[in-house]
Structure 1
Amino acid sequence: MAAKRARFERLAMPAVNALYRQAMRLTNNPDDAQDLVQDTFERGFKAFDSFQDGSNFEAWMTTIERNAYFNQYAKAKRRPQRANDSTGEYDDWDIYDAAEHTSDGLKSAEEEYLDAFAPEEIMKALAKLSPERRQVFIDAAIDGKSYQQVADEQGVKIGTVMSRLNRARTQLKRELAAYARERGYVTADRNGQAGRQPQSSVGTNAPRRAGSSPSAKSSSGVVQTMRNGDNENTGKEI
């Protein structure tokens, strides 16, 4: 079984970027795309005995992914929950709403969201990430680099990049939610979870700190500041 798993992973890892791109086109949501890729890996391993040696493994896996999406994800219509019209509360405050990362000058969903916060708030949230998670987040989520490119530049495996990015997103979302609650941008439900005010929505209409404006220092400038500061950091994360 261990040998089978190792052989499967050796064939599957080069296909990760293609699977993620297709998953983003299908789901239009980074979190759902990651779930779909993971589900595809599990399905692919279970069906690995049916794979014919010499066939195109990437094409085989993308077919499994499409089938998985249409058989399960499309039917379930899996999307982040949006604010209730009457209460304005969010059960799932997902800050990475509906944008495929690009490198053609368009802002990513993460950049659009970060622009809604004052620079000092972004700095504080990013500063709480470990240097490794912060660098992966900046490279993949903000700069739009592929997982493979980030992995090559940082000398780590693609799986490590995916893990660090997922953990960075989770932590950053939590930190920004805390700042939003502290400043009265959102309310907390009975479970202590953040809920948005009725007039707010993810994206350019996200709550903005009093006194800040769209012309305030952009997230790209803040990110550059954090990147420069990380040049002096030498700690490593597993």
Structure 2
Amino acid sequence: MAELAVPIPMTPRTFYPVAALPQNKTKMETIGKKYFNEIKLAETLTNVPGAIILSLIFTESAGNPSIVSSAGAVGLMQLKPQTGNDVIHLENKSKRLTAPEIELLKKHLGARVNGPLKQQYISHKIKENNYTGNVMTRADLQKPELNILLGAMLIGILIDQHYEQGVLRLDKALVRYNQGYFFKPGTGTVEQVLDRVKGRSREAYSYIIKVVGKNGLLETQSMV
């Protein structure tokens, strides 16, 4: 697994009590073993550390590839079909999309991958004359290999956008993964961002500290 580019924990704030750490570690180890090949492949293709991918799988779905949320998010990394389309579009637009990624996408989507590759805009800005609808289905997103790749692509895009003065603000990337691509975490220190996010969404606030807080999932994975 690639090394993290941020100090962990990023904040002394906690979500998980100390008593939860052994159980969390065991559960993550189980998920990590079950999906080791898929996580490793996504890590290799996107350069997103496997520890971050595993943390998102744990937080989003607890390792259940078939789960569908009330909002229509699907699978291990909880993506909507529209989001899956947009991730491919954004990966391509940002010039992150590589030939091996395209090959893996075609493995699962076939010629349908050309839909998001030809998109001119992200979905909420799309006009009728350049969009033919979602090419991705819930069934597609219940395939672990595809779901994990797309989730890693998305957090990778957000990570790239939040290197600020040479420092990775993973807190900002995480909250946008949770709240949506266009969520604005604002400026300031980690603690200032946490205070701002907490005032807007308790769920989003918890999401950040579950992963990068004290006793969080990234710290737990480093436990011997």
Q: Answer 1 or 2: higher relative contact order, Cα 8 Å, separation at least 6.
A: 2
- Which bracket does the TM-score occupy, shorter chain normalised? under 0.3
TM-score, L = length of structure 2: 0.28
Larger Rg computed on CA atoms: 1
TM-score, L = length of structure 1: 0.26
